Structure 1
Amino acid sequence: MTQTPAGPLSAPPVAPRRPVTHTWHGVERTDDYDWLRDKESPEVLAHLEAENAWTEQRTAHLAPLRERIFEEIKSRTQETDLSVPTRKRGWWFYSRSFEGREYGATCRVPVQDEDDWTPPQPDGKASPDQPALPGEEVLLDLDALAEGHEFFSLGGSALSLDGRLLAWAVDTEGDERYTVRVKELEGDRLLDDVVEGVLGGVTWDPDGTGFYYTTVDEAWRSDKVWRHRLGTAQDEDELVFHEEDARFWVGVGRSRDDRFLFVVSGSKTTTEWQVKDARSPERGFVVWSPRREGLEYSLEPAVVGGREVFLVLHNGSGPDFELATAAPTPTDPADWEPLVPHDPAVRLEDVDAFAGHLVVHQRSQGLTQLRIIELGPEGPGEDYLVEFDQEVYTIGSGANPSFDQPVVRLGYTSLTVPSSVYDYDVRTRELTLLRRMPVLGGYDPEQYEEHRIWAPARDGELVPVSLVCRRGARETGPLPTLLYGYGAYEASIDPYFSPSRLSLLDRGAAFAIAHVRGGGEMGRRWYDLGKLEHKENSFHDFVDAARHLVESGWSSPDTLVAEGGSAGGLLVGAALNEAPELFAGVVAAVPFVDTLTTMLDASLPLTVGEYDEWGNPEGDPEAYARIAGYAPYDNVAAVDYPPVLAETSLNDTRVLFVEPAKWVARLRATATGRRDFLLRTEMSAGHGGVSGRYKAWHDRAFSLAWILDRMGLAEVAPRSAVGS
């Protein structure tokens, strides 16, 4: 039995081997460490604590560096601050942060001029002791709500349409099961209503007498939509819909114009929407277009050419989606009328409708774009992109909750440009910068350079890689580089600015993102070529991108560190097995490394819904062989692996802590050479790690110090980012 250490350890913890053998499709599979999954076992908890002690002991020499990096992150941050206010139903809403506090507050002030869409600005520096804006009302003091809890997460908050009632959801464990409370804003009176086990937030019924919410089944799949009537107990709530197909999740929401409520069922390949019209609530929820395998669609109410329509974003005309119009009543796909036809060079991702214009979210050649379609009395008018003159960037629509707003709130960032908030006035086509995230200490983006390079994959595809470093740093030779990747679920890891990343760049390192197949950066085809039977393309792309960085002189194997989280942890774990000689170290956060075990157990969270992503190894021998061939845990070999830092959370419901725990145990037992493998478990956190910004900064400082040590930069002082 592993014991909690009472003093310094002379060797890393050794998990006892307790073989469990199963036979699948005629193939025997033995798992020596399955016993580690029991989070209630004192022996398992003692083992995790011993691993934490060993990790702390092995990294004790980095403690001063960790503290310096934490102070660097803190010194770059304007700790007392407020977001750009967003207008909705006669109010401006914003969030505030305060020096020394973890969470901050959400606030509102009344709109003073109905015709003025310019957000108000504070007269002076905001402070915890005075309102940021005249007439400020604090809706939620998050630090007060978090008091007494080691972990705190706000799942969301929602105001009733009349603005009288506020509902909010809180998770204090990290397991993403939230408790909802409600208060009357006038008098700040807390109601007796308490709804537990909610996934995320709530959606108010237009009449304000209750709200809708979703709950999960035993496999942590959102499967039920409920309606809670204020003043009643939760066990009296009405079951609105139960999604019985285990491949599908379900959610609930309301349209921007407040007319429609939606219940949406979706799998990885198919969607179905149910619609409730506030003009005829007695009809209840009606299926708008029945699910058809492989057909994905979404709905957005709009008025086009004087007609009330639904905008339908769907893949019925091609994999990169088409934007069509249809009647708000149940409509067959044959009657959907194209508005923006399918284009294989442009992936349409979303659409927002307003009284005078549409905003289409799309991407092309690996970059995000916003398309404006003006609406006139006769129908769609001019169609154009909101453009920025930069090689690598990310643009996206921000908070735009009001149907009649004439401006588009958008966000913009790059690897060198801090997160920026703009208003684009569709009437004048003027772009106004409202706020750029302050980076204190004299940050000068001109002192850095960013690039988009293309790495040749072994099958001839070109993999986009986004890269940033200090200007001119490469002139002295290859750079220590942190290579990040994800590559699953059509999720795109677009270029973004990070204040904490400056602690790497200013010590002479580069940061790169490999946009591998399995992600959505290059359209639906890019995703399809990185899942199911093509999944190994993701791992090959990451290895080939790393090799290209080395061969083209950007980096070298002795200073190249890989990092990925969740499905990205699977990515770097598989790349580690394929090419351990390419990397100086690997950081795997909440890593999905025991892929085969998880996908063989339909009772585990998310498994059945993931069959369309990974395959069903329980029912399909080919899927079993395929996953067994790349799962990092199953393919640990007797080779010299570089050092590994695996980070996890005890209460993670998405990727269970047992996966990295088993992986590290097998690495220690099997690998040759250095065998420097560390496991760090947060004992009060979930999939997203610890809560609170200061705790998160300490956590990131821990990882960055380890990365710098692997790069040989632990003793290097950071250069100033102030321009010359």
Structure 2
Amino acid sequence: MTKPSDLPPPPRASQKPHSYERHGVTIDDPWAWLRDANYPQVGDEEVLDYLKAENAYFDAAMAPHKELLDTLFAEMKGRLKEDESSVPVKDGDWLYWWAFEPGAQYRRWFRKLATGGPDELIFDEPTEAEGKDYFRLGAMEVSPDGKLAATLVDDNGSERFKLRIRDLATGEELETVTDVAIGSPVWSNDSKAVVFTEVNENWRSYRARYHRLGADPADDVTLYEETEELGFSVGVGKSQDRSLIFIATGDNATSEVRFVSADDPSQPLVLIAARKEKREYHVDAAHGKLWVVTNDTHVNFRLAQADPADPGNWTEVIPGSDRVYLRGATSYRDHLAITTRIDGLDQLILRTYSGDETRIPFAEASYSAAFGGNPEFTPATYRLGYSSMVTPGTVYDYDPASGELEVLKVQEIPSGYDASQYETDRLLVPARDGKQVPVSVVYKKGFERNGEGKLFLYAYGAYGHAIPPSFNSNRISLLDRGWACAIAHIRGGDDLGYDWFLQGKLQQRTNTFNDFVDAAKGMVAEKFTRPGRIAINGGSAGGELMGAVANSDPELWGAVVADVPFVDVLNTMLDDTLPLTPGEWPEWGNPITDAQAFEYIRSYSPYDQVKRQPYPPMLITGGLNDPRVTYWEPAKWAAKLREYKTDTNLLLLKINMGAGHGGKSGRWERLHEVAETYAFILTQVE
């Protein structure tokens, strides 16, 4: 185990007086200088020197464990099929799929005629990524006539994508529409125009535009621009029957949708229903009707239908339910494909337009399942994905006529995997306020529940984003070393319904942190582990969780890994010039105008609540180009922890100097970062 005493002194960021006053409270922030004044350009030499020094310290700390790191990486890589490929998806006359070549970091995208014929390479990511430190294909949408593709590419991690039009027959890039696109573009039905969204200088998706191929992009028509709410984001999509283009605006609590004919997107937009605070609705179209999923009358959403000529008049089809959480509905020719969740478990339902419902059956008691890969309006079968904590990812086609599930592909583990050697449980752990928090756990058979085991505990807990109990081949490296791995389905996610999400936001945010601590204590009570032998991990808002529980209950944790952590919550929520701040106020509160929100955020903001106390070993990561959690949040937090902590445990900060929120972009580079996380916890938890 590497100890700080084995290393040169860690970097120390200097403190420079900086303070401000809000709501009669003075906030001192002596590490505020780590934010480059010219951000998103970062050129301040003092800032860069500090980040480089932290990276050098990280390298020095990990160097003695190179053999372990290499072993972990080799294990993880050995579980991935080097020439992995997707199951072909039919769309019109073509079958589309992607494939890796052995050793390649990036995918190649192919198609061939459904009636037979040669494979056609339509996008070669390895070639496009050559010579670049970062590469991400954000979207590729093929035109209805099959001749062109609209692609979005980010080559620096900033999530400002270049939208280009490609001739699929020749591979030629015909034109660049914009350098600041985001999301996924939508084609007009005549294949002669695209509708797309752009971000502004503050990285906010603020408008939808219409571009006719060959026209000067400067003359593109703005179909909709959000001007009323700084925090709303604009997105575009197409109905499953391909008749309409939807343009939506909203945040994580409120939405508003317009539509226009996909035959002529230049026509005036039709508003479905004006925004109403804390009302969400999502829309599809089929059979001359709009199909609306909304939480207007029930927290767990209901399904309604409407006439496009009177789109705001909604007639109920499926009422809201306290038990059944309606998460989405897609309207195909013969069925509504409905996704629900009951008691935290995914349910996939096909409903005919006459009201007959069929639930697709799954045998395991705990699993994750979702519809996916069904682009056509009239599929004969429905594609879906499935996995569990012990069952590798499986792709099925479900035949509604026969009721049979056909296995198309099971995730291969080239180095070998025997599911019968592992067990999974789903526990209900009591939280301090009486709620029951689900915890999904997996371990190798023979794991002794004697209170001495080692546990790797993961959670997220924000934005209504559930963490499913799905398969992850990387965790086998921990399971085979005698660890148990668990996911805490805490409030803030929507694992147990939309209200589970609401109970972890705004003035109830600390429920999320308490749930996680109580889940860990529950695993101790269940004899899986003991305090000090629990390694924890979370990223982004889950990194905020890591910071909060490291402050509140440091003695519980044997190691903490916080990836791109949102830890400078108060300062970020007070700065409405930052990319995401206005859109985040419905999640955390607005401390600029609300003194109560200011005090509540200050009471848990991990950076503000760092104490003079012992902390467990900690690994903190960030990305210099990250527009979501800016690099200075993990940097400031690490600097303050170094100054305040009273222990001799290892504290490491690693900043990816050429990447963004998702870390490095190649599949092996990403895998190496997972291996670093595992090497850190394996060497720190005794």
Which bin holds the TM-score, normalised by the shorter protein? over 0.9
Alignment partner, residue 339 of structure 2: 361
Q: Secondary structure at the match of 2:283?
A: strand
Residues of 1 paired with 2:366 and 2:685: CA distance?
Answer: 26
1:56 to 59, 62, 65: 59
Superposed, 1:191-210 pairs within 5 Å as 191-210=174-193
What is the Cα deviation at residue 237 of structure 1? 1.5
Change in CA separation of 1:702 and 1:523 when aligned onto 2, cut-off 3 Å: same
Alignment partner, residue 175 of structure 1: 158
2:350 is aligned with 1:347:
no
- Aligned identity (percent) is 39
2:46 is aligned with 1:68:
no
What is the Cα deviation at residue 520 of structure 1? 0.4
Alignment partner, residue 24 of structure 1: 22
1:614 to 579, 584, 588: 588
Amino acid of the structure 2 residue aligned with 1:93: Y
Is the contact made by 2:188 and 2:264 (CA closer than 8 Å) also made in structure 1? no
Deviations 1:322-357 (Å, cap 9, x if unpaired)? 01111122333xx32221111011110111111111
TM superposition score normalised by structure 2? 0.96
2:299 is aligned with 1:319:
yes
Alignment partner, residue 569 of structure 2: 595
1:13 to 2, 11, 14: 11
What is the Cα deviation at residue 440 of structure 1? 1.6
What is the Cα deviation at residue 662 of structure 1? 0.6
1:85 to 67, 84, 88: 88
Q: Secondary structure at the match of 2:608?
A: helix
Q: Secondary structure at the match of 2:173?
A: strand
What is the Cα deviation at residue 83 of structure 1? 0.6
2:513 is aligned with 1:530:
no
Is the contact made by 1:93 and 1:106 (CA closer than 8 Å) also made in structure 2? yes
What is the Cα deviation at residue 268 of structure 1? 2.1
Alignment partner, residue 564 of structure 1: 538
Superposed, 1:112-511 pairs within 5 Å as 112=115, 134-244=117-227, 245-278=229-262, 283-303=267-287, 308-332=288-312, 335-375=313-353, 379-380=354-355, 382-475=356-449, 477-511=451-485
Is the contact made by 1:489 and 1:527 (CA closer than 8 Å) also made in structure 2? yes
Amino acid of the structure 2 residue aligned with 1:227: Y
Residues of 1 paired with 2:431 and 2:610: CA distance?
Answer: 24
2:626 is aligned with 1:642:
no
Deviations 1:206-253 (Å, cap 9, x if unpaired)? 222221111112322110111122112322221111101212111111
What is the Cα deviation at residue 406 of structure 1? 2.1
What is the Cα deviation at residue 374 of structure 1? 2.4
2:31 is aligned with 1:47:
no
Residues of 1 paired with 2:185 and 2:439: CA distance?
Answer: 39
Where structure 2 has 5 or more consecutive residues not aligned to the other structure, the ranges are: 1-5, 37-41
What is the Cα deviation at residue 538 of structure 1? 0.3
Deviations 1:593-619 (Å, cap 9, x if unpaired)? 110010000000110011110000111
Change in CA separation of 1:597 and 1:695 when aligned onto 2, cut-off 3 Å: same
Is the contact made by 1:580 and 1:642 (CA closer than 8 Å) also made in structure 2? yes
Change in CA separation of 1:311 and 1:540 when aligned onto 2, cut-off 3 Å: same
Aligned residue pair count:
675
Residues of 1 paired with 2:369 and 2:251: CA distance?
Answer: 27
Q: Secondary structure at the match of 1:539?
A: helix
What is the Cα deviation at residue 442 of structure 1? 2.3
Change in CA separation of 1:544 and 1:282 when aligned onto 2, cut-off 3 Å: closer
Deviations 1:42-81 (Å, cap 9, x if unpaired)? 1111111100111111122211111011111111111012
Deviations 1:23-45 (Å, cap 9, x if unpaired)? 10000110010001113211111
Amino acid of the structure 2 residue aligned with 1:411: G
Superposed, 1:625-640 pairs within 5 Å as 625-640=599-614
Q: Secondary structure at the match of 2:311?
A: coil
What is the Cα deviation at residue 188 of structure 1? 3.0
What is the Cα deviation at residue 504 of structure 1? 0.7
Is the contact made by 1:422 and 1:434 (CA closer than 8 Å) also made in structure 2? yes
Alignment partner, residue 721 of structure 1: none
TM superposition score normalised by structure 1? 0.91
Where structure 1 has 5 or more consecutive residues not aligned to the other structure, the ranges are: 1-7, 114-133, 713-724
Residues of 1 paired with 2:119 and 2:230: CA distance?
Answer: 46
Aligned-residue RMSD, C-alpha: 1.4
Residues of 2 paired with 1:414 and 1:160: CA distance?
Answer: 36
